[in-house]
Amino acid sequence: MALFDGQKAFEHVRAQVELGPRPPGSIALARLRAYIGEYLGALGWKVEEQPFEAVTPNGKIAMVNLVARYPPGEFPGQGSILLGAHADTKVFDFEFVGANDGGSGVACLLELGRVVPQLDLWRPTVLAFFDGEEAQVAWGRGDGLYGSRHLVGSWWSERRLADLVAVVILDIVGDRQLRVTRDLHSTSWLQDLAWEVAWQQGVGEIFEGPLEWIEDDHLPFLVGKVASLVLIGFGHDDQGGYFPPYWHTPEDTLDKISPLSLEQVGRVVEGALARLQGSLPREHSGA
Ligand SMILES: [Zn+2]
């Protein structure tokens, strides 16, 4: 029986929205990290901040990733599975609280932080809350994905990246008309596994969103040859998919978020985590 509780996740979205806009370097984002650290620490997770300096089109910005591991031990740990989401919200000249874009992924990770210690998992679980996923000026050409690129780079240079066997990124998963995109960058065996769990749990239709090439925090892990999947509710209306009309507008607010959608996605991740405890295929792209 699945443990993930959508209402509990929803309360974590509310807490983030109440902090206001959470761009890199802001006090609100530091407060969010404190909230995450306190919550997960009390549940027995080892929590660590990873500060770094990002070179952006707006100059150098001090950023901080937050990583947590259960059971406590060295990061990430042999055979571990990483679940990730971006904690930052995009910088705008209007009030942008990012309930769905930013808030929903973090909220799911926090609720999974409550669930994971209750599951009998032998693989370590790592939760990664990335800073600087959003572009400072314009997406692409090195603007965006600052936190995930930094984490992958540092674990790569320390020869720890290969300890990860799978990565699942959550982003924009709170809409009440959620349709999860089938991302074409994601590792196929991992995507198939998650989609199979979704159908078994009776929510397969939600996972039949449009095919898209999604650029998100899974990309640096794919470059590092780690099997990676993004779960994102994002697509084109004209392809039968769903594009939240309030995306990157002042309307990305708490009222757009459905506890049920959070629960449906969260339970698929919970089920996938259990399935990933067995032996796993290894993909080598050779690129
Ligand atoms: Zn965004």
Tell me, in angstroms, the distance from the centre of ligand 1 to residue 85's CA: 11
Select from 101, 70, 224 the least CA-distant residue to 162.
Answer: 224
Query: What is the pLDDT averaged over residues 243-269?
Result: 94
Angle at CA 98, nearest 5°, toward 93 and 100? Answer: 150
What's the one-letter identity of residue 196?
A: E
Per-residue model confidence as pLDDT tens digits over 162-213: 999 999 999 999 998 889 999 999 999 999 999 999 999 999 999 987 888 9
User: What is the structure's pLDDT at 88?
Assistant: 97
Tell me, in angstroms, the distance from the centre of ligand 1 to residue 52's CA: 21
CATH architecture of 6-275: 3-Layer(aba) Sandwich (3.40)
Residue 285 has pLDDT above 80, yes or no: no
Binning pLDDT at 50, 70 and 90, where does residue 284 land?
very low
Every domain of the chain and the residues it spans: 6-275
3-state secondary structure the chain: CCCCCHHHHHHHHHHHHHHCCCCCCCHHHHHHHHHHHHHHHHCCCEEEEEEEEEEECCEEEEEEEEEEEECCCCCCCCCEEEEEEECCCCCCCCCCCCHHHHHHHHHHHHHHHHHHHHCCCCCCEEEEEECCCCCCCCCECCECCHHHHHHHHHHHHCCCHHHEEEEEEEECCCECCCCCCEECCCCHHHHHHHHHHHHHCCCHHHHCCCEECCCCCCHHHHHCCCCEEEEECCCCHHHCCCCCCCCCCCCCCHHHECHHHHHHHHHHHHHHHHHCCCCCCCCCCCC
- b/e map 144-159, b = 16+ CB within 10 Å: bbbbbbbbbeebbeee
Tell me, in angstroms, the distance from the centre of ligand 1 to residue 134's CA: 6
Tell me, in angstroms, the distance from the centre of ligand 1 to residue 152's CA: 20
Per-residue model confidence as pLDDT tens digits over 75-130: 999 999 999 999 999 999 999 999 999 999 999 999 999 999 999 899 999 999 99
Per-residue model confidence as pLDDT tens digits over 122-169: 999 999 999 999 999 888 778 999 999 999 999 999 999 999 999 999
238 and 229 in contact (C-beta within 8 Å)?
Answer: no
Residues, Cβ < 5 Å to ion ligand 1: 101
Query: What is the pLDDT averaged over residues 41-53?
Result: 98
User: What is the structure's pLDDT at 286?
Assistant: 39
Mutual orientation of helices 105-115 and 27-42 as an angle, nearest 10°?
Answer: 20
User: What is the structure's pLDDT at 283?
Assistant: 55
Tell me, in angstroms, the distance from the centre of ligand 1 to residue 102's CA: 7
User: What is the structure's pLDDT at 183?
Assistant: 94
Tell me, in angstroms, the distance from the centre of ligand 1 to residue 248's CA: 6
Residue 256 has pLDDT above 70, yes or no: yes
Question: Between the ranges 60-64, 239-243, 283-287, where is the mean pLDDT highest?
Answer: 60-64
* Full-model pTM: 0.95
C-alpha span between 7 and 5 (Å, rounded): 6
Per-residue model confidence as pLDDT tens digits over 230-253: 999 986 555 555 678 899 999 999
User: What is the structure's pLDDT at 287?
Assistant: 37
Tell me, in angstroms, the distance from the centre of ligand 1 to residue 18's CA: 18
Tell me, in angstroms, the distance from the centre of ligand 1 to residue 203's CA: 25
